[in-house]
Amino acid sequence: MVSATDEVAATRSRSGPDSSEPPARRKRVRQFTARDKRDFPIFLVLALPNIALIVAFIYRPVIQNFYYSTLDWTTGSTSATSIGLANYQEFFGDPEAIGVLRVTLVFTVVTVAGSMALGLLLATVLNRKLAGRTFARATIFAPYVLSGVGVGLIWVFIFDPTVGVLGAILRSLGASSPEWFNNDNLTLWMVVIVYVWKNLGYCAVIYLAAMQAVPKDLLEAAAIDGASGKRAFFSVILPLLSPTTFFLLLTTMLNSLQAFDLIKIMTPLGNGTTTLMYESYLQAFQVGRAGYSAAVSTILFAILLVMTVVQLGVLERKVHYS
């Protein structure tokens, strides 16, 4: 005996997809056309060289680095012993590793927040019609394109407590210069100040370009409604800058986690400034433990991957694109 439900199902099966179903919920299956089949060999010719380069120079080193992290290998040695995950167990069981993670977290959070906040402030100022603003924009952006080594050497001289410019200014005011290079807490903040100074121009230029793309009619409508400049900034401009903020958050965070040149030049021994990136360098070329260094690099890669996925998966949903 056939029930009413079975009859309805059979009717729907004969008549095809339910036309009352919303179009957005219908599953679209793209059929390969004759042109697609004809163009597929051209696609392979164009795509395969790039895919091969990506695999050879990005994915292969990552996999190879993970293999090296499972070895007890001295830098420069022609032999190595497989020790499984012992390097990872040693890192997470080492009390000094907590300090490395803390320095990495503080350095990343402060440099990202400082660069973006100061960059937004500068962009707001430079977006006004001021005399000499073109020269000011070039001056602010210039440190970003300078070599990190050169910038580090200049700031080492500035922070020098004996012959440095900063020490001379403080002494002229009757104060003594802090021991920037001998105090582990001050060395971290010294490098943070220089890193923010070098990179805030990048954030300022990107924010400035986004501000100049804000539709004028929205600002005029806000002014007609009686919104003050402060209210228009926080209610109109800042929400429209969310795609730019998301982009800067992603790129500056990845760059801060991989910062190396300034730390190497200003604090060669890494006293108080040993981030994960610099710890990997010290272990490989100062201590000579290539396998342990590869394990630290793999941990850094895992952190970068997780943070990128979280940012793309969670924060991007809160971004306005229109």
Compute the mean pLDDT over every residue in the chain, rounded to the nearest whole number.
Answer: 86
Total H helices, total E strands in the chain: 16, 2
pLDDT of residue 25: 52
> For residue 8, what pLDDT band results from cuts at 50, 70 and 90?
very low
- pLDDT attached to residue 16: 46
Helix (H, G, I), strand (E, B) or coil at 128: coil
- Rounded CA-CA distance 118/196 in Å is 9
Amino acid type, 111: T
Q: Give the angle subtended at the CA of 240 by the CAs of 237 and 244, to the nearest 5°.
A: 110
Q: What's residue 133's pLDDT? A: 80
* Most distant CA pair in the chain, distance: 103
Measure Cα distances from 181 to 158, 171, 189 in Å. Answer: 12, 18, 11
Q: How many CB atoms lie within 10 A of CB 148?
A: 19
Evaluate whether 300 touches 277 at the Cβ level (below 8 Å): yes
pLDDT at 228: 86
Indicate the SS3 state at residue 251. Answer: helix
204 Cβ contact partners less than 8 Å away, ≥ 6 residues apart: 118, 119, 120, 122, 123, 126, 137, 140, 141
Calpha distance 166→190 (Å, rounded): 12
- Report pLDDT for 26: 56
Kindly report the length of the chain: 322
Report pLDDT digits (tens) over 286-320. Answer: 999 999 999 999 999 999 999 888 888 776 666 66
* Sign, Cα dihedral of 89, 91, 97, 102: negative
pLDDT higher than 70, residue 38: yes
Most confident of 12-26, 51-65, 222-236: 51-65
**Residue indicated by tokens 């790039």:** 50
Contact criterion met (CB below 8 Å) for 178 and 114: no
